[in-house]
Protein backbone atom coordinates (compact mmCIF):
# COMPACT_ATOMS: atom_id res chain seq x y z
CA UNK A 1 0.00 0.00 0.00
CA UNK A 2 2.81 2.38 -0.90
CA UNK A 3 0.81 4.25 -3.52
CA UNK A 4 -0.85 7.46 -2.28
CA UNK A 5 -4.51 7.58 -3.34
CA UNK A 6 -5.29 11.18 -4.32
CA UNK A 7 -8.93 12.01 -3.48
CA UNK A 8 -10.43 14.83 -5.53
CA UNK A 9 -13.11 17.02 -3.96
CA UNK A 10 -14.86 20.33 -4.44
CA UNK A 11 -13.77 23.03 -1.98
CA UNK A 12 -17.03 23.60 -0.10
CA UNK A 13 -17.31 22.55 3.53
CA UNK A 14 -19.87 19.89 2.63
CA UNK A 15 -17.81 18.47 -0.25
CA UNK A 16 -14.76 18.29 2.02
CA UNK A 17 -16.85 16.48 4.66
CA UNK A 18 -17.86 13.91 2.04
CA UNK A 19 -14.30 13.46 0.81
CA UNK A 20 -13.06 12.96 4.38
CA UNK A 21 -15.54 10.10 4.82
CA UNK A 22 -13.92 8.30 1.89
CA UNK A 23 -10.48 9.31 3.15
CA UNK A 24 -11.18 7.83 6.60
CA UNK A 25 -12.60 4.60 5.14
CA UNK A 26 -9.45 4.16 3.04
CA UNK A 27 -6.98 5.01 5.81
CA UNK A 28 -8.80 2.62 8.16
CA UNK A 29 -7.79 -0.14 5.75
CA UNK A 30 -4.18 1.02 5.78
CA UNK A 31 -4.12 2.99 2.51
CA UNK A 32 -2.16 6.23 2.21
CA UNK A 33 -4.29 9.14 1.02
CA UNK A 34 -4.21 12.82 0.08
CA UNK A 35 -7.10 15.27 -0.42
CA UNK A 36 -6.93 17.37 -3.60
CA UNK A 37 -9.45 20.28 -3.69
CA UNK A 38 -10.59 21.30 -7.21
CA UNK A 39 -12.90 24.16 -8.23
CA UNK A 40 -16.05 23.29 -10.19
CA UNK A 41 -17.92 25.47 -12.68
CA UNK A 42 -20.97 25.23 -10.44
CA UNK A 43 -19.02 26.75 -7.56
CA UNK A 44 -17.54 29.58 -9.64
CA UNK A 45 -20.84 30.84 -11.14
CA UNK A 46 -23.13 31.65 -8.20
CA UNK A 47 -25.48 33.95 -10.13
CA UNK A 48 -26.87 32.06 -13.12
CA UNK A 49 -29.73 29.72 -12.20
CA UNK A 50 -28.76 26.08 -12.68
CA UNK A 51 -31.43 25.52 -15.32
CA UNK A 52 -29.99 28.38 -17.41
CA UNK A 53 -26.47 26.99 -17.23
CA UNK A 54 -28.08 23.83 -18.58
CA UNK A 55 -25.08 21.58 -17.97
CA UNK A 56 -25.84 18.20 -16.52
CA UNK A 57 -23.00 17.25 -14.21
CA UNK A 58 -21.89 20.84 -13.64
CA UNK A 59 -20.67 20.00 -10.12
CA UNK A 60 -18.88 16.83 -11.24
CA UNK A 61 -17.30 17.80 -14.56
CA UNK A 62 -14.13 19.44 -13.19
CA UNK A 63 -13.42 16.44 -10.94
CA UNK A 64 -14.08 14.02 -13.79
CA UNK A 65 -11.60 15.89 -16.00
CA UNK A 66 -8.99 15.82 -13.22
CA UNK A 67 -9.61 12.08 -12.86
CA UNK A 68 -9.20 11.39 -16.58
CA UNK A 69 -6.11 13.63 -16.70
CA UNK A 70 -4.50 11.64 -13.87
CA UNK A 71 -4.39 14.57 -11.40
CA UNK A 72 -6.47 12.54 -8.93
CA UNK A 73 -7.25 8.84 -8.44
CA UNK A 74 -10.71 9.00 -6.81
CA UNK A 75 -13.41 11.67 -7.12
CA UNK A 76 -16.09 12.06 -4.43
CA UNK A 77 -19.51 13.44 -5.35
CA UNK A 78 -22.95 13.99 -3.95
CA UNK A 79 -24.59 11.18 -5.89
CA UNK A 80 -27.60 13.33 -6.82
CA UNK A 81 -25.23 15.65 -8.77
CA UNK A 82 -23.83 12.83 -10.91
CA UNK A 83 -25.29 12.41 -14.43
CA UNK A 84 -26.96 9.04 -15.00
CA UNK A 85 -24.43 8.40 -17.78
CA UNK A 86 -20.90 8.50 -16.36
CA UNK A 87 -18.12 9.79 -18.64
CA UNK A 88 -16.35 7.13 -20.67
CA UNK A 89 -13.60 5.34 -18.70
CA UNK A 90 -15.02 6.44 -15.30
CA UNK A 91 -16.85 3.92 -13.10
CA UNK A 92 -18.50 3.81 -9.69
CA UNK A 93 -16.03 2.52 -7.08
CA UNK A 94 -18.29 2.68 -4.00
CA UNK A 95 -21.59 4.15 -2.83
CA UNK A 96 -21.47 5.02 0.87
CA UNK A 97 -24.28 4.25 3.28
CA UNK A 98 -27.01 6.80 2.73
CA UNK A 99 -27.55 9.72 5.09
CA UNK A 100 -30.74 11.77 5.63
CA UNK A 101 -32.90 11.82 2.50
CA UNK A 102 -35.53 14.51 3.13
CA UNK A 103 -35.68 18.21 2.29
CA UNK A 104 -36.01 20.89 4.98
CA UNK A 105 -37.61 24.30 5.16
CA UNK A 106 -35.40 26.74 7.04
CA UNK A 107 -37.75 29.55 8.10
CA UNK A 108 -37.01 33.09 9.28
CA UNK A 109 -39.46 33.66 12.15
CA UNK A 110 -42.17 30.97 12.23
CA UNK A 111 -44.14 28.61 9.99
CA UNK A 112 -47.57 30.19 10.53
CA UNK A 113 -47.62 31.27 6.88
CA UNK A 114 -47.87 27.61 5.81
CA UNK A 115 -51.43 27.58 7.21
CA UNK A 116 -52.47 30.97 5.81
CA UNK A 117 -53.95 30.38 2.33
CA UNK A 118 -53.99 34.07 1.37
CA UNK A 119 -50.46 34.92 2.50
CA UNK A 120 -47.95 35.22 -0.35
CA UNK A 121 -44.75 33.82 1.11
CA UNK A 122 -41.30 34.34 -0.39
CA UNK A 123 -39.39 31.05 -0.56
CA UNK A 124 -35.89 30.53 -1.95
CA UNK A 125 -34.39 27.53 -3.76
CA UNK A 126 -32.38 26.94 -6.94
CA UNK A 127 -33.88 23.47 -7.48
CA UNK A 128 -36.56 23.19 -10.18
CA UNK A 129 -37.78 20.02 -8.44
CA UNK A 130 -38.31 21.81 -5.13
CA UNK A 131 -39.89 24.82 -6.87
CA UNK A 132 -42.37 22.64 -8.76
CA UNK A 133 -43.39 20.63 -5.68
CA UNK A 134 -43.66 23.77 -3.54
CA UNK A 135 -45.85 25.56 -6.11
CA UNK A 136 -48.08 22.52 -6.40
CA UNK A 137 -48.82 22.82 -2.67
CA UNK A 138 -48.58 26.62 -2.37
CA UNK A 139 -49.44 28.07 -5.82
CA UNK A 140 -49.61 31.69 -4.57
CA UNK A 141 -46.10 31.77 -3.13
CA UNK A 142 -43.21 33.61 -4.79
CA UNK A 143 -40.10 31.52 -5.46
CA UNK A 144 -36.61 33.05 -5.55
CA UNK A 145 -33.36 31.71 -6.92
CA UNK A 146 -30.77 30.76 -4.29
CA UNK A 147 -27.35 29.49 -5.35
CA UNK A 148 -24.06 28.76 -3.64
CA UNK A 149 -22.78 26.29 -1.08
CA UNK A 150 -24.75 25.52 2.08
CA UNK A 151 -23.15 28.28 4.18
CA UNK A 152 -23.54 30.90 1.44
CA UNK A 153 -27.24 30.04 1.07
CA UNK A 154 -27.85 30.26 4.82
CA UNK A 155 -26.15 33.68 4.88
CA UNK A 156 -28.24 34.88 1.94
CA UNK A 157 -31.44 33.69 3.61
CA UNK A 158 -30.51 35.71 6.72
CA UNK A 159 -29.82 38.82 4.61
CA UNK A 160 -32.87 38.70 2.31
CA UNK A 161 -36.49 39.53 3.07
CA UNK A 162 -37.64 35.93 2.53
CA UNK A 163 -39.88 33.76 4.68
CA UNK A 164 -37.74 30.67 4.21
CA UNK A 165 -35.51 28.56 1.99
CA UNK A 166 -35.41 24.86 1.12
CA UNK A 167 -32.32 22.71 1.76
CA UNK A 168 -31.42 19.03 1.74
CA UNK A 169 -31.34 17.76 5.32
CA UNK A 170 -28.10 15.85 4.62
CA UNK A 171 -26.24 18.98 3.57
CA UNK A 172 -27.08 20.92 6.73
CA UNK A 173 -26.77 18.06 9.21
CA UNK A 174 -23.46 16.69 7.94
CA UNK A 175 -21.63 19.93 8.68
CA UNK A 176 -23.70 20.70 11.81
CA UNK A 177 -25.32 23.89 10.51
CA UNK A 178 -28.99 22.86 10.58
CA UNK A 179 -30.75 25.77 12.31
CA UNK A 180 -33.28 25.19 15.08
CA UNK A 181 -35.67 27.15 12.84
CA UNK A 182 -36.14 24.28 10.39
CA UNK A 183 -38.74 21.60 9.72
CA UNK A 184 -38.63 18.42 7.64
CA UNK A 185 -40.82 18.50 4.54
CA UNK A 186 -42.33 15.03 4.80
CA UNK A 187 -44.56 15.65 1.78
CA UNK A 188 -41.68 16.62 -0.55
CA UNK A 189 -40.27 13.72 -2.58
CA UNK A 190 -36.45 13.96 -2.80
CA UNK A 191 -34.16 14.03 -5.81
CA UNK A 192 -32.93 10.66 -7.07
CA UNK A 193 -29.93 9.55 -4.94
CA UNK A 194 -30.34 12.46 -2.48
CA UNK A 195 -28.38 11.87 0.72
CA UNK A 196 -25.94 9.43 -0.91
CA UNK A 197 -22.21 9.93 -1.52
CA UNK A 198 -20.36 8.17 -4.35
CA UNK A 199 -16.68 7.58 -5.04
CA UNK A 200 -15.68 7.12 -8.69
CA UNK A 201 -12.38 6.21 -10.28
CA UNK A 202 -10.87 5.28 -13.64
CA UNK A 203 -12.12 2.02 -15.10
CA UNK A 204 -8.58 0.69 -15.53
CA UNK A 205 -7.45 1.56 -11.97
CA UNK A 206 -7.67 -1.87 -10.33
CA UNK A 207 -5.81 -0.62 -7.23
CA UNK A 208 -8.42 2.06 -6.38
CA UNK A 209 -11.37 -0.15 -7.33
CA UNK A 210 -10.11 -2.80 -4.93
CA UNK A 211 -9.43 -0.20 -2.22
CA UNK A 212 -12.97 1.25 -2.37
CA UNK A 213 -14.93 -2.00 -2.81
CA UNK A 214 -15.17 -2.90 0.93
CA UNK A 215 -17.17 0.24 1.81
CA UNK A 216 -19.74 -0.03 -0.99
CA UNK A 217 -23.10 -0.18 0.86
CA UNK A 218 -25.28 -2.69 -1.01
CA UNK A 219 -28.73 -1.46 0.16
CA UNK A 220 -27.87 2.15 -0.76
CA UNK A 221 -26.41 0.99 -4.06
CA UNK A 222 -29.64 -0.85 -4.92
CA UNK A 223 -31.96 2.00 -3.85
CA UNK A 224 -30.03 4.67 -5.74
CA UNK A 225 -29.68 2.43 -8.79
CA UNK A 226 -33.49 2.15 -8.97
CA UNK A 227 -33.93 5.92 -8.52
CA UNK A 228 -31.33 6.77 -11.15
CA UNK A 229 -32.77 4.21 -13.56
CA UNK A 230 -36.13 5.99 -13.14
CA UNK A 231 -34.42 9.34 -13.84
CA UNK A 232 -32.53 8.03 -16.87
CA UNK A 233 -35.68 6.49 -18.39
CA UNK A 234 -37.46 9.85 -18.07
CA UNK A 235 -34.33 11.46 -19.57
CA UNK A 236 -34.08 13.97 -16.76
CA UNK A 237 -31.26 15.87 -15.10
CA UNK A 238 -30.76 18.77 -12.68
CA UNK A 239 -33.05 20.92 -14.82
CA UNK A 240 -36.07 18.59 -14.69
CA UNK A 241 -38.55 18.35 -11.78
CA UNK A 242 -38.12 14.60 -11.28
CA UNK A 243 -38.31 13.06 -7.80
CA UNK A 244 -37.69 9.48 -6.73
CA UNK A 245 -37.17 7.55 -3.51
CA UNK A 246 -36.55 3.85 -2.99
CA UNK A 247 -35.93 2.19 0.37
CA UNK A 248 -35.61 -1.38 1.59
CA UNK A 249 -37.56 -2.77 4.53
CA UNK A 250 -37.67 -6.45 5.51
CA UNK A 251 -36.04 -7.39 2.20
CA UNK A 252 -38.76 -5.55 0.24
CA UNK A 253 -38.02 -2.52 -1.96
CA UNK A 254 -40.58 0.30 -1.83
CA UNK A 255 -40.38 2.91 -4.59
CA UNK A 256 -42.15 6.16 -5.38
CA UNK A 257 -41.37 8.50 -8.26
CA UNK A 258 -42.89 11.48 -10.04
CA UNK A 259 -42.40 14.16 -12.66
CA UNK A 260 -43.93 17.67 -12.49
CA UNK A 261 -44.11 20.49 -14.97
CA UNK A 262 -42.12 23.56 -13.96
CA UNK A 263 -44.92 25.36 -12.10
CA UNK A 264 -46.27 22.23 -10.41
CA UNK A 265 -49.71 22.43 -12.05
CA UNK A 266 -49.35 19.07 -13.77
CA UNK A 267 -47.67 15.91 -12.47
CA UNK A 268 -47.61 12.14 -12.85
CA UNK A 269 -46.48 9.62 -10.25
CA UNK A 270 -45.96 5.89 -9.92
CA UNK A 271 -45.16 3.56 -7.03
CA UNK A 272 -43.83 0.03 -6.90
CA UNK A 273 -42.77 -2.63 -4.44
CA UNK A 274 -40.79 -5.77 -5.02
CA UNK A 275 -38.62 -8.34 -3.29
CA UNK A 276 -35.10 -6.89 -3.07
CA UNK A 277 -33.68 -9.80 -5.05
CA UNK A 278 -36.15 -9.16 -7.85
CA UNK A 279 -35.92 -5.36 -8.11
CA UNK A 280 -34.08 -5.11 -11.44
CA UNK A 281 -35.96 -2.80 -13.78
CA UNK A 282 -38.22 -1.38 -11.05
CA UNK A 283 -37.29 2.25 -11.76
CA UNK A 284 -37.50 1.79 -15.52
CA UNK A 285 -40.91 0.13 -15.21
CA UNK A 286 -42.29 2.99 -13.07
CA UNK A 287 -40.88 5.61 -15.47
CA UNK A 288 -42.42 3.90 -18.48
CA UNK A 289 -45.80 3.91 -16.73
CA UNK A 290 -45.47 7.67 -16.13
CA UNK A 291 -44.46 8.34 -19.74
CA UNK A 292 -47.47 6.37 -20.97
CA UNK A 293 -49.86 8.21 -18.59
CA UNK A 294 -48.84 11.63 -19.97
CA UNK A 295 -45.42 12.30 -18.48
CA UNK A 296 -43.93 12.30 -22.00
CA UNK A 297 -45.80 15.57 -22.63
CA UNK A 298 -44.18 17.18 -19.58
CA UNK A 299 -40.73 16.03 -20.76
CA UNK A 300 -41.45 17.55 -24.21
CA UNK A 301 -42.71 20.82 -22.67
CA UNK A 302 -39.57 21.19 -20.52
CA UNK A 303 -37.28 20.44 -23.47
CA UNK A 304 -39.09 23.01 -25.62
CA UNK A 305 -38.87 25.58 -22.81
CA UNK A 306 -35.09 25.18 -22.80
Name the nearest CA neighbour of 243 among 132, 154, 89, 122: 132
Full DSSP string of 242-305: EEEEEEEETTEEEEEEEEE-TTSSSEEEEEEEEEGGG-TTHHHHHHHHHIIIIIHHHHHHHHHH
List 43, 64, 73, 81, catalytic entry: 81
81 an active-site residue? yes
> Which DSSP helix (H) or strand (E) runs through 233?
helix 218-233
Rounded to whole angstroms, the Cα distance separating 168 from 154 reads 12
Query: Is 208 strand, coil or helix?
Result: helix
CA 90 to chain centre: 19
List the catalytic residues. Answer: 81
Amino acid sequence: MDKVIRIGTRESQLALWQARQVNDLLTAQGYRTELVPIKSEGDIDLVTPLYEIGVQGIFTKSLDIALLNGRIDVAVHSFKDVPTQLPQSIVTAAILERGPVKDLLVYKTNTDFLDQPDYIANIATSSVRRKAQWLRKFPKHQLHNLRGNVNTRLQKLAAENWDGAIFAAAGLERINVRPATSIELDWMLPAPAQGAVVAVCREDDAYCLQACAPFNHAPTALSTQIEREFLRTLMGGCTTPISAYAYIQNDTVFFEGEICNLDGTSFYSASRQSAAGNAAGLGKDAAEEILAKGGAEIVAQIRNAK
